[in-house]
Structure 1
Amino acid sequence: MTSSIIDMGAKVWLCLVILRFMVCFYPGQMKGYIHPDQFFQTVEPLAGDIFGFDHLRTWDWNATSPGPIRNILFPYASVGASFFALKQLSTSGYIDISGYTLQAFPRLAMTAASLIADIAVYKTTKSLDLNPWNCLTILASSYATLAFHTRTFTNVFECALFALVLMLVVMSHKDDLLQNKRHFEGNTTNTKSDNNRHVGKKRKTKPKSSIEKQAVPHAAISSSPNEALVGFCLGFIVILGSFCRPTFPAFFIIPTSFWITGSVTSGDIKAVWEIFKRVAYIVPGAFMTFVVCVVMDSIYYGTLDAAILNNPTLLVQNLNLDLLHNITITPLNFIKYNIQNSNLSPHGIHPRITHFLVNVPMLFLPLFVCFLKDAVSFYKTWHDRSLENEISLITSHKLFVLMFLTPIMLLSLIPHQEPRYILPVIVPLVLLYSDSLMKPLSSIPKMYWILFNLIGCIIFGHFHQGGLVPCMEYLHKVATRPIENNPTSFHFVFFHTYMPPQHLLHLQDQILPPFANFSMEKYQHILPKQENVVTIHDLMGSDQLTMFDRVDKILSDIKTVTPKPYQKEIYVISPASLDTIFCRLNVKYNFKLINQFTHHLSMEDPPEWFPSYECVAQPDRSYSRMNFGDKFQAMLSLFVYKVEHVTYLDNAAKS
């Protein structure tokens, strides 16, 4: 019976992994745009580096003070590798570069990287005699995995590296953890029996967490890995993760500290030597990785000349303080930037309890409920003298609880708090409570876990800003349409949307900055001969007066000089929830709805459910004239309007 459940669990996990990859092969079905960082921290700048596409390189890649904060190793190892493969396939004629391939290839690379966490969790559970398939099923079925880990977030690597650190620590200390676990379970059983005899009736006991159960037969314990090798790997991972995500120390501090001090039971000189020795094991891997990352970043950002490194003579001649001033340490720049609240204000300032009260429940509500039940149960037994011995033990249960709580508390010190920052804590949570979320004697999760994650996938994976990426492919077709008479200067105005990823237009030397104010001679020199050009105006969450003013300036050629051979077209992209702004008739111009992309949900501008207003500018799109299905589709859409000049005033003046 147990063997068949394990086999079925492996099949369920495999199906979920296939689903994870299918999400990447069919980005139109999981088109949610979760956060601009999924493009602008990785994909957007690399599309410019590798393909030469017009793109937007945000401040964190080119800041002069305190300096760039993005490490280039991870983006190039994942997104860059996928783009190089796509470029080679395109050059060989096997595949075309399109909006689809520019999305699918990087997401496939990130999804493959996310499997590192699955492998590490499997190894960890096997070392602790847990049922690996329960943990892997909960991990793989979480919408945090299906929606976030299939996007190009650097948090995917942070989660994978955190799982690797945990795996190394558990495998190194598994003898101690297993012994303490059995002692913990034995003391708990004896204490409950004594308490039941005192009370005279059987008490209800809480469901055991995954760590407190022995779900599979105990296998023979192999010898622990070599300490020097584990220390080298830990040093390599903690520095690599810190360059990828400078918040990574919040995650590795507990498992690494446990590895350094876990076997120490006294405070004598021998214990001090043991700690010193393990710290020394970490240093070589950490130092080597630090040097490699700093050199790569310094060369990429132009602060260090690669010719010096290739010439030993020049390197010796420049080994002075000036050379040290020419290196770029991106995690240090990240810290300098984020310690000032004034720098974080444009990104959003949140209450310090946002992670605990909002982000953790939003991502892992059923797991968080299990943790709260566990915390209440622990509090009730805190003063029970019979539990003193077991409380003093270092058990895997306590270790994983600390690895969940500590990162949340440390990251809560930063006033800018987003859900994706805490994605890695899913690893200790599934190790703690996966069994509680599985149906008894089954490899299928309980229904409330399935429903919770299904809703999360629909909202964040499909609906959230879901019309923007398909819209970019449509705008590419608009900008590259055949030229009949004269080329066109297109102006795409994005209003109350996330930042548009310009690389999805896959244009080269055709996107001009807004309000360039070039002289005519300079403008003619920059503009490609007989090619359409594009200007992107990202108005973000500006008010409607700002939007109208921008359209006025574009139409009146104020600071947007258009050479005579070029004609001008203006398109405004906005959520359907703001359609009333565009429905009125204006004196100079009107907004004609020419396309819409479903499904699109803007949390900042939620739709008005089943509005009944009349659209004066375009009566056919009045909600009162739509049936139920059309209303629902129109409410959750991204609208594309074309600005049209009003001509009847000119005709009236002539008559």
Structure 2
Amino acid sequence: MMSYQWWPYLVYAIGLMLGLGPSYIHPDEHFQCIEILAMQFTKAKGTIPWEFEPKFAARSYAPLLLIYGPLFTILESFSKVRNNPILILYLMRLQNYVMLLLCYHFVIPKLIRNDRKAVQSIKKGLLLTSYVTWTYQTHTFSNSIETLILMTTLTVMENMMNDKNIHTNNFKKSILLGHMLSLGVFNRVTFPAFIFLPCLILFWKFYQIHWKSFSLVLISFLFSSGIFALIDTHIFNNGKGLVITPLNNLKYNLNVQNLQLHGLHPRYTHLLVNLPQILGPTLLLAILSGYKLDKLSTYSIVSGLLFLSLFQHQELRFLVPLLPLFVTNLNWTPFSSTLVNKKLFQGTWLFFNIIMAFIMGISHQGGIVQFLADFYHFNTEKMGVHIWWKTYSPPTWMYMSDNLTVSSLINTQDGVESIDESAFSVGTNHVIDLKGCDLPLLEETIRRFRLSGAITPLTLIAPNSMTSELKKLKRDETVKLTPKRHYLFHFDLDHFDFNDFTTFKPGLTVYSIELL
């Protein structure tokens, strides 16, 4: 998209800056990854997500240990930094960024090798300057790893279907393919959705005439899956025999009542809402360019959208692997005709991605990470009770405490929100996650601590979008809120109210609560 030789280095620098930004895109980037690893490799106590509870055993430890385990193992050798949460967070994001660049240099060129050089340059530019690449791909989502695995797997599959290779057995690539498929499935249960149609086509065109190679795919897949299952069985130790986490995850998600706990969406959400947010102006190129039906990655797009849309829980990050698929599969460039003005498109594309990158890479819930980093580095007072309100769940591993109590909001069957009674007996090293509860429960929580007579520092962490609500709390003459810290780069997208424009106010404030 740019004619200058130095532009990739500028884009790399921007990607690095955003990857090391303070944003917090979604709780799963912590709770399905670093929270668990930190509890395994350090003395930190944190929050065990439902997927990692032995009774569910719905997410595998094996890919996490394989991908991030070496980094934690290396950090264990450095006593001064091994428990530094912000360093751990940024090193993991840096590792993801390096893996992404390696994929960009060694995998993506193979997917676009048949294109003209001008088209290849446009496609590379679109991928490198996408906010999804800069933000989602650098954060510790399983979706980010899924993208890399999917790109690599499709490259191997398309190579096997190459005219030069189609008539000969390919044992090495079949073994590699089996391992990659297993890793993809154990990393995310959504992986088969992206790979189902490509696998059918590969079998029809290649494996049905190369049964020896097909047997090697099955053996390597079963071997890797067996190793992963044994690792999970050892760690979960739930006494229920062999633990196969992808199967448990699939069973959970097939139950609509379970999905209701995480939010139900219309089945068109992926196609009409999430996909346009990921592609941005590139959606116009995707519509105008058309796609070749002789490429496996084209069928992967169809397969992924089709099967993921069958489930009613549909988050934007589920479609992150589709960005490189759509871009690399553009059949021709509309810039060669009068359909799209090149300069206008470039300007629109850069504007869209710069805005989205600032939001998702720097400011989105960014005060949470900044506060926890400051608390670790500069806190000199005893930690009493931290009450988090109207924020994403705090990644409790970042407290790096071996004596931490975490209390969270409880939703009863009749829809009433409450906090467990035992929470009010713990006055030190205590985190209370009130999530998005209404003001009365916050007031009730503070009142209960006042009645308990606990002499402990009480701290409230809340976004500035709740200024109007907190003014109501300040009317209580027995409670005094004193601002201690402010963080400007915190954007709360979840509580906009057009009847109250203070809900659009950015920032996060840390208050000291005094009970008078």
Alignment TM-score, normalising by the size of structure 2: 0.87
Report the 3-state secondary structure (helix = DSSP H, G, I; strand = E; otherwise coil) of the residue aligned with 2:307: helix
Give the C-alpha shift of residue 348 in structure 1: 0.8
Task: Give the match for residue 415 of structure 1.
Answer: 312
Partner of residue 52 from structure 2, selected from 55, 61, 73? 61
Report the 3-state secondary structure (helix = DSSP H, G, I; strand = E; otherwise coil) of the residue aligned with 1:32: coil
Task: Give the match for residue 339 of structure 1.
Answer: 254
Unaligned 5+ segments in structure 1 are: 176-220, 264-271, 305-324, 379-392, 483-487, 524-531, 613-631, 647-655
Report the 3-state secondary structure (helix = DSSP H, G, I; strand = E; otherwise coil) of the residue aligned with 2:509: strand
Answer yes or no: is the 8 Å Cα contact 1:596–1:640 preserved in 2: yes
Which stretch shows the higher mean deviation, 142-151 or 253-262? 253-262
Task: Give the match for residue 538 of structure 1.
Answer: 433
Superposition pairs for residues 35-434 of structure 1, below 5 Å? 35-64=26-55, 67-89=56-78, 91=79, 95=81, 97-118=83-104, 119-126=106-113, 132-175=120-163, 227-262=170-205, 273-274=208-209, 276-303=211-238, 325-374=240-289, 395-396=294-295, 399-433=296-330
- Residues 402 and 353 from structure 1, CA distance in 2 versus in 1: closer, same or farther, beyond 3 angstroms? same
Q: How far apart, CA to CA, are the structure 2 residues paired with 1:445 and 1:133? A: 15
Answer yes or no: is the 8 Å Cα contact 2:404–2:431 preserved in 1: no
Give the C-alpha shift of residue 365 in structure 1: 2.0
Give the C-alpha shift of residue 96 in structure 1: 6.9
Report the 3-state secondary structure (helix = DSSP H, G, I; strand = E; otherwise coil) of the residue aligned with 2:76: helix
Q: How far apart, CA to CA, are the structure 2 residues paired with 1:581 and 1:591? A: 13
Q: Any idea what the Cα deviations from partners look like across 1:117-171, whole Å, max 9, x if unmatched?
A: 3121112222666654433322121111101011001111110111012211222
Higher Cα radius of gyration: 1
Partner of residue 453 from structure 1, selected from 341, 344, 353? 353
Partner of residue 577 from structure 1, selected from 434, 449, 465? 465
Write the letter of the residue equivalent to 1:416: H
Report the 3-state secondary structure (helix = DSSP H, G, I; strand = E; otherwise coil) of the residue aligned with 1:349: coil
Task: Give the match for residue 499 of structure 1.
Answer: 393
Task: Give the match for residue 318 of structure 1.
Answer: none
Write the letter of the residue equivalent to 2:320: L
Write the letter of the residue equivalent to 2:352: F
Sequence identity percentage = 21
Q: How far apart, CA to CA, are the structure 1 residues paired with 2:424 and 2:365? A: 38
Answer yes or no: is the 8 Å Cα contact 1:439–1:446 preserved in 2: no
Q: Any idea what the Cα deviations from partners look like across 1:528-585, whole Å, max 9, x if unmatched?
A: xxxx93211111111100110011111211xxx85xxxx3121111111111122242
Q: How far apart, CA to CA, are the structure 2 residues paired with 1:427 and 1:120? A: 11
Answer yes or no: is the 8 Å Cα contact 1:171–1:225 preserved in 2: no
Answer yes or no: is the 8 Å Cα contact 1:124–1:171 preserved in 2: no
Which stretch shows the higher mean deviation, 416-425 or 225-234? 225-234
Answer yes or no: is the 8 Å Cα contact 2:112–2:120 preserved in 1: yes
CA-based RMSD: 3.3
Task: Give the match for residue 474 of structure 1.
Answer: 374
Write the letter of the residue equivalent to 1:17: Y
- Residues 109 and 607 from structure 1, CA distance in 2 versus in 1: closer, same or farther, beyond 3 angstroms? farther
Unaligned 5+ segments in structure 2 are: 409-419
- Residues 450 and 341 from structure 1, CA distance in 2 versus in 1: closer, same or farther, beyond 3 angstroms? same
- Residues 638 and 224 from structure 1, CA distance in 2 versus in 1: closer, same or farther, beyond 3 angstroms? farther
Write the letter of the residue equivalent to 2:436: G
Write the letter of the residue equivalent to 1:599: F
- Residues 349 and 73 from structure 1, CA distance in 2 versus in 1: closer, same or farther, beyond 3 angstroms? same
- Residues 437 and 374 from structure 1, CA distance in 2 versus in 1: closer, same or farther, beyond 3 angstroms? closer
Answer yes or no: is the 8 Å Cα contact 1:404–1:425 preserved in 2: yes
Report the 3-state secondary structure (helix = DSSP H, G, I; strand = E; otherwise coil) of the residue aligned with 2:461: strand
Q: How far apart, CA to CA, are the structure 2 residues paired with 1:233 and 1:286? A: 9
Answer yes or no: is the 8 Å Cα contact 1:172–1:224 preserved in 2: no
Task: Give the match for residue 462 of structure 1.
Answer: 362
Q: How far apart, CA to CA, are the structure 1 residues paired with 2:490 and 2:373? A: 15
Answer yes or no: is the 8 Å Cα contact 1:158–1:245 preserved in 2: yes
Report the 3-state secondary structure (helix = DSSP H, G, I; strand = E; otherwise coil) of the residue aligned with 2:190: coil
Q: How far apart, CA to CA, are the structure 2 residues paired with 1:19 and 1:344? A: 37
Answer yes or no: is the 8 Å Cα contact 1:607–1:636 preserved in 2: no
Write the letter of the residue equivalent to 1:158: E
Q: How far apart, CA to CA, are the structure 1 residues paired with 2:444 and 2:255? A: 34
Partner of residue 20 from structure 1, selected from 12, 15, 20? 15
Task: Give the match for residue 412 of structure 2.
Answer: none
Q: How far apart, CA to CA, are the structure 2 residues paired with 1:517 and 1:358? A: 42
Write the letter of the residue equivalent to 1:274: I
Alignment TM-score, normalising by the size of structure 1: 0.69
Q: How far apart, CA to CA, are the structure 2 residues paired with 1:340 and 1:472? A: 36
Q: How far apart, CA to CA, are the structure 1 residues paired with 2:274 and 2:28? A: 17
Q: How far apart, CA to CA, are the structure 1 residues paired with 2:260 and 2:370? A: 31
Give the C-alpha shift of residue 287 in structure 1: 1.3
Answer yes or no: is the 8 Å Cα contact 2:23–2:364 preserved in 1: yes
Give the C-alpha shift of residue 473 in structure 1: 2.4
Superposition pairs for residues 542-621 of structure 1, below 5 Å? 542-557=437-452, 562=454, 567-583=455-471, 584-606=474-496
Write the letter of the residue equivalent to 1:637: G
Q: How far apart, CA to CA, are the structure 2 residues paired with 1:84 and 1:345? A: 38
Superposition pairs for residues 478-493 of structure 1, below 5 Å? 480-482=379-381, 488=382, 490-493=384-387
- Residues 363 and 431 from structure 1, CA distance in 2 versus in 1: closer, same or farther, beyond 3 angstroms? same
Q: Any idea what the Cα deviations from partners look like across 1:61-92, whole Å, max 9, x if unmatched?
A: 1141xx21111122123333222222322x2x
Write the letter of the residue equivalent to 1:533: T
Which stretch shows the higher mean deviation, 224-233 or 33-42? 224-233
Give the C-alpha shift of residue 367 in structure 1: 2.3
Report the 3-state secondary structure (helix = DSSP H, G, I; strand = E; otherwise coil) of the residue aligned with 1:70: coil
Partner of residue 25 from structure 2, selected from 28, 34, 37? 34
Q: Any idea what the Cα deviations from partners look like across 1:596-621, whole Å, max 9, x if unmatched?
A: 11121111113779968xxxxxxxxx
Give the C-alpha shift of residue 592 in structure 1: 2.1
Give the C-alpha shift of residue 407 in structure 1: 0.5
Q: How far apart, CA to CA, are the structure 2 residues paired with 1:6 and 1:32? A: 28
Write the letter of the residue equivalent to 2:273: V
Q: Any idea what the Cα deviations from partners look like across 1:196-245, whole Å, max 9, x if unmatched?
A: xxxxxxxxxxxxxxxxxxxxxxxxx8999852222222211111100000
Answer yes or no: is the 8 Å Cα contact 2:129–2:353 preserved in 1: yes
Q: How far apart, CA to CA, are the structure 2 residues paired with 1:129 and 1:275? A: 33
Answer yes or no: is the 8 Å Cα contact 2:39–2:45 preserved in 1: yes
Q: How far apart, CA to CA, are the structure 2 residues paired with 1:100 and 1:172? A: 43
Write the letter of the residue equivalent to 1:115: L
Alignment length (residue pairs): 497
Q: How far apart, CA to CA, are the structure 2 residues paired with 1:506 and 1:434? A: 50
Give the C-alpha shift of residue 642 in structure 1: 1.6
Answer yes or no: is the 8 Å Cα contact 2:484–2:510 preserved in 1: yes
Which stretch shows the higher mean deviation, 11-20 or 48-57? 11-20
